[in-house]
A and B are shown apart, each in its own frame.
Chain A
Amino acid sequence: MTQIFGDYCEGEPNSPEFLIIGFSPSSVPLKQRWRNNGLSADFMADYLTTFFLGNEENPASMRRQAEIKSAVGFVANELLENAMKFTDERSAFPISIQLQLHPNYLMFFTTNSVEPERIASFQTYLEELTSCDPEDMYVRQLEKNALEENGTSSRLGYLTMMSDYMARLGWKFETVQKDPEVIAVTTMVQLPV
């Protein structure tokens, strides 16, 4: 089974410039390693700045470098937070995040397993997300969150990327193991730079 939502595309699997970080669910439970998300996202953001060198005599280039660093940190952190929150802890399927460099954009791919019973509601949400006006839906979501006292998920990560960072997003669901069945989702974010 393979299902696609949004603007999913594979990018360049053989891109010469990429970075992948993988997390095994076997050791410490992933949900207890929350701090790792921030550390990994900051690392990706720092690492990337070497490709977008700022020149101190050129304030515009320094600003651009800071903008890219901040955007990468935000996107990578949100993707990792989601992957850690929604991974199916009963499966041994690892979580990964990949960053690819392209001339005018960056591509992120996170892959994680999904609990089978959560897939239907997740896909309904993705259908809404990919057919909406992101700015309108963003404000509606903020108002909705304010009415919920104990909402577990803010549902703002993808929307913020779309509405504030002009990112294009897509998702691929695929069966990666049978008996017991494991379904993985790969989330793609294409960020203009």
Chain B
Amino acid sequence: MSTDIVIVGAAETDEIGRLPDRSVFELHLEGACNALADAGLTKDDVDGVATVGTPGPVQVAHALGITPAWLDGTSVGGTSFLFHVRHALAAIRAGLCHTVLITHGESGRSRVGAPPRAFGRDSLPGQFELPYGTMGPATTFTVTALRYMKETGLTHEQLASVAVAQRRWSSRNPRAAMRDLVTVEDVLASRLVAYPFHLLECCLVTDGGGALVVTSRERAEALGTRKPPVYVLGSGESAESPIISQMEDFTTSRSFRLSSQAAFADAKITHADVDHLMIYDAFAHVPIYGLEDMGFVGRGEAGAFIEEGHTSPGGRLPMNTNGGGLSYTHTGMYGMFAMQESIRQLRGEAAAQVPDVEVGVVLGNGGMFMSAATLVLGNRRS
């Protein structure tokens, strides 16, 4: 039997939202310190570091005084941190290291100490997207939606209902950026950003960070960590296209399907086992794709499923219970926050706590349907 891998530390930065006095690097370190404190560990217990390209694992390790035996700088968009958990799991099982710190920090709104966003004119986006007046995710990630609507019959009202459902959750979460309940009419009356997407169907742009500490169950017991462990029961990863126009089918994400099939098989679970779900929601259509591509509902059924309240408080599949990228926070790489909420729910310490959560699933998206990773987490061994 393979080694049990557990998350023993999980924390966000003290504040999230608008933090113009904090740099990207500071946000990484604050999240790291908070996660280590949450675990009851110190930097001397850590021998592996993973984070995205900037500032990168070397800088994070050096700043904290960690001498790593293992590093991972996988940088495949906002779901990178789910990949890091999966890679840490493999590294720990292989004996390459014992305890891994995974950090995220991003000054997505204030742009303090943040790398430039520009693509080169000779890059793939520079040649085949930017000449057409794309303005980041709001005009690229969104371009699949009308095709999906035509082929499945998804209505504008159902698309808007994704934002409505998530506001029902964030209204119960004091840390969420947007907490006022909204109606479908409110969403459709908000200004058009990129037809068919209105402002309230687009994610926030915020500053913040967070970190995780991952180790083996045996190590956690030997070190005496503070909180009950969250088990990584299964994982999967995949990727599709670096530019959205080359996705094979605009109505379904191949990488959502493949990463989720792999994670469910790895964890030996079925959909009925899932008590709580996080789907990376950069825009309102993404949870719709996620629900279908993961197999929670049939083709073309996700819009009605959300509209009918099944993912809302009291529904049978509580989803994006922090309010998601649409209402909680979205620093630009939201994957860390999706995992943090899943862990809070499994520990019973979420702001909008769902009763009896034993198995949670997190689907992370990177880029514009570019990459995906899926984790199955549980508060006990499978």
Query: Does A associate with B in a complex?
Result: no
Chain B contact residues, CB within 8 Å of chain A: none
